[in-house]
Structure 1
């Protein structure tokens, strides 16, 4: 028998995680993404219906419709408001209260540059700073590598560019100590990391994980790569694989720890953890290649 490489052995050990205990808490959500826990409620978005929604543990409801936004991400601020990432190009970032009333809106960074390509995902730091990804040029070859990370200053209430040249910037997450920022580059199927400086700016971009080397995707299209990112209290990085129907749990050192299969899905979009860190919520579409991306939200014990 041919001897397995260390990488192949790790892949075998990490695969085949059962998902039978997953509970479906929302169905038929077209373009489901952006899960965000707020107390006992789960907020999420439909990028196709252009709504922010809420599941209160029993029922799902529409909080507010935002025509022309194409929402793909949410993040909770220290003031218990939500920032909404609008993926419509050029992008917009809105701040809303928990009832959906708009508090603020930004259509450009502090230099006056539009949020080109649309805003994809966001994460809030302990300081109140917010990091957001800009997709960049959302076309296939030839195209510029123009994805960016922008940072919101809670003092100046403005956004500034803190990283550039990310190949279709998508999901984003912070380590528990807020010293490392992770971002997924959808083209190339890779996750990068950045050291976070004391002033919130970012150091040089580093490779964190080449996902194709850890676990194969369902499709060979190099434009189909990682989507949302969530980091748990232990520093493990959970990466939703668009076109993969699964979530990869990766240690802070880049080791694949677990593959979490999502039943009946070919496109996971994001993850959120409950406040007690015992439950995870997964947003996923049934068929990532479909023109109408109908999906579900799963609730499962954190793995």
Structure 2
């Protein structure tokens, strides 16, 4: 798999995140231009929205309106049918770091991760929350004690939420209860506990995987953006690595499955995740390769 042909979908951005295949095209955010974008059929890029406090996760309500995580002010914005952005939810009371990635369930409830600490400021690692945002904008913490909860997917049928723990060396699963809250936490894939180590660099050094973005396929395996390891990795529940796509010298920081047949793996590539370096350069790219097993679940 590491020899698969990789094509370039888009380039000239700062740091791409939140890729989603929706309504027949690819959507993504660019952190440091603060834009939400979509790729048109002719390959041109359409700017959909500007989120001044830095956009992250994307999703859609049942009526088609888009939700966008606004990272630095820890809010969820809603894009109305006229293109305007309004506040959908303020989750700042539940966050001790930036709001981050998001997955929206079929019924419009959204699950949002948060940093837990000031990563870009060099603070020590702290465990973080997952927040449930209801369709009326009310919110609550539904999981805590996760190591930088990041990429999230919901399995077909809406019964399980799978979450990357970026600095935890593992991928975690929860049962989704009837009211949207989370129960029965378990390992989807655990490559070794890192414990309470406060130094982020030491946590990364101790890890086998550093999982950022997440995509689910029709065989129940997940693709992760294996960030500093400069690859995308396909993992089955239990932790067996099935396939890898190597992208060195670039790291991969988010992934999505899409395309008309669901078999295009989109890869958000950049040299690193350093805020200072990425915000000053235009080295962020969207890559793509073809895989054998199509997309499943949400997003």
TM bin (shorter chain): 0.7 to 0.9
The one of 71, 91, 112 equivalent to 1:108 is: 91
Relative contact order: is structure 1 or structure 2 higher (C-alpha 8 Å, sep ≥ 6)?
Answer: 2
3-state SS, counterpart of residue 204 of structure 1 = strand
Query: Match for residue 11 of structure 2?
Result: 27
Structure 1 length-normalised TM? 0.81
CA distance in 2, matches of 1:63, 1:285: 22
**Displacement over 6 Å in runs of 4+:** none
Does structure 1 conserve the Cα–Cα contact (< 8 Å) formed by 2:12 and 2:285?
yes
**Residues 141 and 281 from structure 1, CA distance in 2 versus in 1: closer, same or farther, beyond 3 angstroms?**
closer
Establish whether residue 173 from structure 1 lines up as the match of residue 183 from structure 2.
no
CA distance in 2, matches of 1:100, 1:75: 15
3-state SS, counterpart of residue 222 of structure 1 = helix
3-state SS, counterpart of residue 32 of structure 2 = coil
Query: Match for residue 60 of structure 1?
Result: 45
1:48, distance to aligned residue in structure 2 (A): 0.9
Output aligned runs, 1:47-196, within 5 Å.
47-57=31-41, 58-67=43-52, 69-88=53-72, 90-97=73-80, 100-108=83-91, 113-139=93-119, 142-145=124-127, 147-154=128-135, 156-196=136-176
Q: Structure 1, residues 112-171: CA drift from partner, whole Å, max 9, x if none?
A: x253312111112223221111221134664532x11111222x4322211011122211
CA distance in 1, matches of 2:260, 2:104: 15
1:189, distance to aligned residue in structure 2 (A): 2.2
CA distance in 1, matches of 2:228, 2:58: 22
Query: Match for residue 3 of structure 1?
Result: none
The one of 185, 193, 202 equivalent to 2:182 is: 202
Establish whether residue 261 from structure 1 lines up as the match of residue 246 from structure 2.
yes
CA distance in 2, matches of 1:115, 1:134: 6
CA distance in 2, matches of 1:171, 1:108: 18
3-state SS, counterpart of residue 276 of structure 2 = coil
Report the count of equivalent residues: 275
CA distance in 2, matches of 1:22, 1:97: 36
Query: Match for residue 296 of structure 1?
Result: 285
Q: Which runs of 5+ in 1 are unaligned?
A: 1-15, 214-218
Does structure 1 conserve the Cα–Cα contact (< 8 Å) formed by 2:268 and 2:285?
yes
Moved more, 157-166 or 272-281: 272-281
Does structure 1 conserve the Cα–Cα contact (< 8 Å) formed by 2:58 and 2:67?
yes
